[in-house]
Structure 1
Amino acid sequence: MTVRILCISFSDIRSDARVLRQVEVLARHGDVTTLSYGDRPDAAADHLSIPSELPSLPQTPVGVVKLALRRFRSVAMEAPAVKAARALLGGREFDIVVANEARALPLAFEVAGAPKIWCDLHEWAPEERTHVLSWRVLVAPFMTWVCAQYLPRADAATTVNASIAQMYEEQFGVRCEIVRNAIEYRPELSPSPAADSIRLVHSGGAVPGRNLEAIIDAVDLLGDGHTLDLYLVKSRQADAYWRQLVARVEASPRTQLHAAVAPDDLPATLNPYDLGVFALPHHTPNHRLMLPNKFFDFVQARLGFVFGSAVETDRLINENGLGVIVPGYSAEDLADAIRGLTADQIAGFKLAADRVAERLSSKSDVLVEDEILRRLVA
């Protein structure tokens, strides 16, 4: 009998690299129905599309009051996107449900058919956005309750690295297996040859707080001989910020903004560049412990690294000689770090990425996912 798998993600899966890879693995084990914003991923057999304007948290007047009064049980299914998702599901039954991020857990446990539940925790859920006051006061306690209420009942749990896994075990008594944000090995790529200028690149979400402005300002401080290209995914709920960012790019003589690139196409698109740049201030524990998609994109693209300091990325950069760790997060900090690099050093960083590209690919992560699914099917 064919295994019926439901994958829930309150994102647009087609532009969510981690979930997109997950769906491809799921499809090898059964018929996958995706429930998310946006269109059907290619590997899914069926898709239920949540209207993109609906928030995945209870951001309604009634929902906010219930959050403030700590009436978490009554608000767990009250987010507009969750209500829409529940209606889309109707009484459909599944054998396995994959809940991407803790906010999908209440809905996962409502799915008919007594399914096995696998929660993939992309980060440390209780403090995802605690640098925002409303999140810290209203949402963080709710997310902590969701984790405490539902995670111990899940049949499997995964997260992105050992540091965050340890936090889930210490606070909620849940052992998470590790599935990094690594991507498929790209043996056809090799370090690009040197050019007349140092070509900087950044890819990721155009989200407030990502410190993109500092990277743009840094390349202007560096002056002639340096360029910056940005490949950015526009946020669903940050139109005003996007307009500000476009204006900032247009004012920079050395920066170009490009349309978003499909996750599978990123390594080849980034390959002609020299240095992947990212410097995220530590607004939350997730920033301090990050191991983001772009780290693995840059490895497969055979780029050198200019990264702001973070526990997990520092370790991998230092162990493998991949680039420089910037002690601060300002434009001046970034410019100083890049200005001090020689052509030979940059070439060495790119060769180091080439040496570790297979080891830092998704092979080991896919093995973990396959084993989880074999367990859940059995």
Structure 2
Amino acid sequence: MKTKVLIISYSNFASDPRVLRQLQILGADHEIMEAGRQASGQGNSFVQLKEIQAFHVEYPYFIKKGLSLFFKLYRENLLLKVFKKYEQYYWDFLRVNVKSKLVDFNPKVVIANDIDALPLAVAIKEKTGAKVILDAHEFSPLQMTNLEHWEKYISPYKYYLSEKYIPFTDYCFTVSKGIAEEYESLAGKPFSIFRNSPRFIDLEPSAVENDKIQLIHHGAAIPGRNLELMFDIIAFLDERFVLNLILIPTVPEYYSKLVERAKNSKKIVIHSPVPTEEIPMFINQFDLGIFILPPSNFNYKHALPNKFFEFIQGRLGVAIGPSVEMSPYVKQYDLGVVASDFSAESIAVLLNSLDKSQVEAFKMNAHLAAKELAIDKELAYFHKVVNEIA
């Protein structure tokens, strides 16, 4: 009989690479229930986690919308901001309702993806005796502290959830060393590193053209990531360089702004989005992956994202700023260039100095490091942890 595992994530399972890896490594020998915004189709069953937005279906539309707005304002303005009633704020009627459905599944292990899922996981543990694994993707209390509203109201709430509920976990993972150390200091529980890396993909580096160096950046179009910086960089680069972009329109207005700006340059090419699992194969045609992320908040400072490791599995060289988690990998494996700061000029000077043979060497070094930097060993360890605590 297969062990029952409940995976909770307030995300779309089908487009969340980290959650998909959990499903893929556990699916063969566990009965999986997904609880999230949208199912991946890889689990055995699914429960949708909804937002508070509608009331009883028999109410007229304008009454439902009015009640929903009132309830939302009550929660956010009174419970969260004024009285700081964080438990009441968390346990809205939708979470109370979904908890009973998840308890009925009677899992042996509950995997809570990020702090938002953890109180729900702990409540299920109290009812069923299940073990709880926290996969804290990032350091939730400081996730968007570059935004004033978030820093003032959401950050204290996330600190409360972290300090109260992490002690009830049975095992904890996160994405990078700096984030692990911050959580350990906060909650007094050890955290293991489970990187945002794809599995090993058997590819060869593509050829570098004599007179072209193809840059590639892929990911969500989010204003806080300051993607305009890449447009500034390409303006400083010589005619050999082409900037290829694969952008997800996470913030549609911002995405449209970037696309419009790209139209004004002959050196920028916009590509259609690619399914997550196909990214390394698609970007293999390019030469250097570029990701310049100024450390505007704690998580950006300690970012070690999917795209960095997808560059490597795609057998690309890498161009980054002095990011504290990524730069040690680039230097250790000689994968590319690390600028001295996050300015467009600093990155451009380094890139303009490269010749074809250097780019080829970076791509070959990525090829040599691809197996070691793939997630396969960590997935096996994750699988072992689930089985041992079940």
TM-score by length of 1: 0.91
Q: 1:226 to 1:162 in 2, by over 3 A?
A: same
CA distance in 1, matches of 2:264, 2:96: 43
Q: Map 1:255-274 to 2 at 5 A.
A: 255-274=268-287
CA distance in 2, matches of 1:81, 1:304: 46
Q: Map 1:216-227 to 2 at 5 A.
A: 216-227=231-242
Q: Does 1:283 align with 2:296?
A: yes
SS in 2 for 1:201: strand
| 2:137 partner letter | H
Offset of 1:91 from its aligned partner? 4.1
CA distance in 2, matches of 1:249, 1:87: 49
Match of 1:75 among 85, 89, 95: 89
Offset of 1:51 from its aligned partner? 4.9
Match of 2:331 among 314, 318, 325: 318
Q: Map 1:239-250 to 2 at 5 A.
A: 239-250=252-263
Match of 2:192 among 177, 182, 185: 177
Q: Does 1:4 align with 2:4?
A: yes
Q: 1:147 to 1:33 in 2, by over 3 A?
A: same
Structure number with the higher helix fraction is: 2
Partner of 1:301: 314
Partner of 2:72: 60
Offset of 1:223 from its aligned partner? 4.5
| 1:288 partner letter | K
Offset of 1:198 from its aligned partner? 0.6
Offset of 1:222 from its aligned partner? 1.8
SS in 2 for 1:272: coil
Q: Map 1:56-205 to 2 at 5 A.
A: 60-64=72-76, 65-68=78-81, 69-78=83-92, 82=95, 85-86=98-99, 89=102, 91-111=104-124, 112-187=127-202, 189-195=203-209, 196-205=211-220
Offset of 1:52 from its aligned partner? 7.7
Confirm or deny: 8 A CA contact 1:179 1:368 kept in the other structure.
Answer: no
SS in 1 for 2:338: strand
Confirm or deny: 8 A CA contact 2:112 2:121 kept in the other structure.
Answer: yes
| 1:219 partner letter | I
| 1:277 partner letter | I
SS in 2 for 1:94: coil
Offset of 1:141 from its aligned partner? 0.6
Q: Is the deviation greater in 20-29 or in 146-155?
A: 20-29
User: Where do 5+ consecutive residues of structure 1 fail to align?
Assistant: none
TM-score by length of 2: 0.89
CA distance in 2, matches of 1:243, 1:231: 13
Partner of 1:15: 15
Identical aligned pairs, as a percentage? 29
Partner of 1:49: 48
Structure 1 residue runs of 4 or more that deviate by more than 3 Å after TM superposition: 49-54, 80-92
CA distance in 1, matches of 2:36, 2:30: 18
CA distance in 2, matches of 1:31, 1:241: 40
SS in 1 for 2:253: helix
Q: Higher Cα Rg: structure 1 or 2?
A: 2
Over aligned residue pairs, what C-alpha RMSD do you find? 2.1
Confirm or deny: 8 A CA contact 2:103 2:128 kept in the other structure.
Answer: no
Q: 1:138 to 1:52 in 2, by over 3 A?
A: closer
CA distance in 2, matches of 1:374, 1:72: 33
| 2:291 partner letter | F
Deviations 1:217-259 (A, max 9, x none): 3223325221111112232xx2222222221222222212222
Confirm or deny: 8 A CA contact 2:12 2:40 kept in the other structure.
Answer: no
Partner of 2:57: none
